[in-house]
């Protein structure tokens, strides 16, 4: 059972997190909201809409990884592209994939952070960390040899983001950060269950693509934007 914190700053942090959620929702309405989200001060870890990587008991359907997907997989490496949608799809696949047989939890966390933009005032590593199972959960998953693969169906700019760009095309030139929504499926398998399971996934990512530099991940948005 969760316990109430005696820290007098606890209530303030709760208020900041609530405010953060409100600010990030504004991202989906206007490009200016996106810039506000990226440059806010005192950023606290964001609640992402992408649910934590599933355990075997959380999976339901019988669509199973097979063939080459059953072999240990390498850590995810970001693609070199200037296309924010292509990068967003690759990032979503990386966030939905893992292999406890091939590497450790800290190694996966470090690899995913390697996708982030090097511009620290925009990067939101906390939102990426939340996509990685905790060390305790990872240990349990590793004992079962659990791994997951991702199948990406599509990626697009959210409607509100596209409209904001049309209304003010020059606004993006400050940070060159794009909102990208990706949908797909995460397939999970583990020892003793070669059939595995699968579940649908959707995520909205903030992707930075400056004209003179390949795309990089900014962070995972707290809500999925249509």
Mean of per-residue pLDDT scores for the chain: 78
Phi, psi for residue 29 in degrees, rounded to 5: -100, -35
Please tell me the distance from the alpha carbon of residue 206 to that of residue 209, in angstroms, as a whole number: 10
Domain boundaries defined on the chain: 10-220
Please tell me the distance from the alpha carbon of residue 167 to that of residue 170, in angstroms, as a whole number: 9
The pTM for the full model equals: 0.73
Burial class (CB within 10 angstroms; exposed 0-12, middle 13-18, buried 19+) of 151: middle
Rg over alpha carbons for the chain, rounded to the nearest Å, is 18
Q: Strands, E, within 81-126: which ranges?
A: 98-99
Please tell me the distance from the alpha carbon of residue 41 to that of residue 126, in angstroms, as a whole number: 14
Q: What is the pLDDT of residues 159-218, one digit of tens each?
A: 999 998 898 888 898 899 999 999 999 999 998 776 678 899 999 999 999 999 999 999
Whether residue 30 is predicted with pLDDT greater than 80 in this model: the reply is: no
Tokens describing residue 25: 């929702």
Tokens describing residue 73: 């997989």
Please tell me the distance from the alpha carbon of residue 35 to that of residue 51, in angstroms, as a whole number: 25
Please tell me the distance from the alpha carbon of residue 18 to that of residue 35, in angstroms, as a whole number: 18
Whether residue 146 is predicted with pLDDT greater than 90 in this model: the reply is: yes
Q: Which pLDDT band holds residue 1 (cuts at 50, 70, 90)?
A: very low
Query: What is the three-class DSSP state of 46?
Result: coil
Phi, psi for residue 44 in degrees, rounded to 5: -105, 160
Whether residue 137 is predicted with pLDDT greater than 90 in this model: the reply is: yes
Residue 149 in contact with residue 165, Cβ under 8 Å?
no
Q: Which pLDDT band holds residue 70 (cuts at 50, 70, 90)?
A: low
């Amino acid at each position: 059972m969760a316990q109430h914190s005696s820290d007098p700053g606890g209530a303030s942090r709760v208020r900041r997190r609530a405010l953060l959620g409100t600010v990030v929702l504004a991202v989906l309405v206007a490009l200016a909201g996106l810039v506000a989200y990226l440059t806010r001060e005192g950023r606290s870890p964001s609640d992402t809409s992408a649910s934590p990587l599933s355990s075997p008991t959380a999976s339901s359907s019988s669509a199973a990884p097979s063939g080459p997907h059953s072999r240990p997989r390498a850590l995810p490496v970001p693609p070199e592209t200037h296309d924010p949608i292509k990068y967003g799809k690759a990032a979503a696949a990386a966030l939905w994939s893992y292999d406890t047989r091939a590497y450790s939890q800290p190694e996966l966390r470090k690899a995913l952070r390697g996708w982030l933009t090097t511009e620290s005032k925009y990067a939101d590593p906390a939102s990426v960390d939340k996509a990685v199972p905790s060390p305790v959960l990872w240990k349990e998953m590793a004992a079962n040899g659990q791994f997951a693969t991702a199948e990406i169906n599509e990626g697009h700019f959210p409607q509100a983001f596209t409209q904001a760009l049309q209304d003010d095309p020059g606004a993006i030139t400050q940070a060159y950060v794009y909102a990208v929504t990706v949908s797909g499926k995460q397939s999970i398998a583990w020892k003793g269950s070669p059939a595995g399971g699968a579940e649908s996934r959707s995520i909205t990512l903030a992707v930075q693509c400056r004209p003179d530099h390949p795309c990089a991940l900014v962070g995972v948005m707290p809500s999925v934007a249509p």
